[in-house]
Amino acid sequence: MSKLTHFDDSGHPRMVDVSAKADTKRTARAHAFVRMSPDVLAALPSNPKGDPLAVARIAGIQAAKRTADLIPLCHTLPLSHVDVAMMVEADGVRVLASAATTAQTGVEMEALTAALVAALTIYDMTKALDKRIEIQDIYLLEKTGGKSGDFRR
């Protein structure tokens, strides 16, 4: 197993020094699923707070841009693209988030943060209808670029 880079030789947390790395194009895509009842799904278009999916999309994009503020050891990245897409399915809403940059480190955390915050926003805007809504299956789908190469789930 590789050594964890977010810890120094004494075991203390640290921000990884990426200054020697070259800027390269990096992308990532992440997934989340918001499981909800058919009644809550049917009520999405008439939500009195507004369109939960439109608000969740913007929340996810904003969250990706603020990832370094939320995750202590993440680098601040110049994002060149963030997108959040949602598909309504029979048992909930599938969230797919993508992020891209040309930088010294990857955008996996930005894509994951976008997917999770979009899912949380859907929950927030529908929780009055049912407290049993679940956020599930948050994971990285793929990443490209960087020293470790490409990954696809």
Mean pLDDT for the chain?
Answer: 92
Looking at per-residue pLDDT, the higher value among 7 and 85 belongs to: 85
Rounded Cα gap, residues 73 and 41, in angstroms:
37
* Cα radius of gyration (the chain): 17
| Percent of the chain whose pLDDT exceeds 70 | 97
Tell me the pTM: 0.91
Type and span of the H or E element at 119:
helix 108-126
Task: Say whether pLDDT at 19 is over 80.
Answer: no
The separation between CA 151 and the C-alpha centre of its own chain, rounded to angstroms, equals 16
Residue that wins the pLDDT comparison between 152 and 47: 152
Asked if the 24-146 domain carries CATH number 3.30.70.640, the reply is yes
CA distance 153 to 138: 12
Long-range contacts formed by 81-87: CB under 8 A, 24+ apart: 82/110, 82/114, 84/56, 84/57, 84/60, 84/114, 84/115, 84/118, 85/57, 86/53, 86/56, 86/57, 86/118, 86/122
Strand partners, 88: 93
Catalytic residue IDs: 124
Q: Is the pLDDT score of 2 beyond 70? A: no
User: CA of 46: how far to CAs of 43, 65, 127, 131, 135, in Å?
Assistant: 5, 29, 14, 18, 21
The answer to which of 16-25, 42-51, 112-121 has the lowest mean pLDDT is 16-25
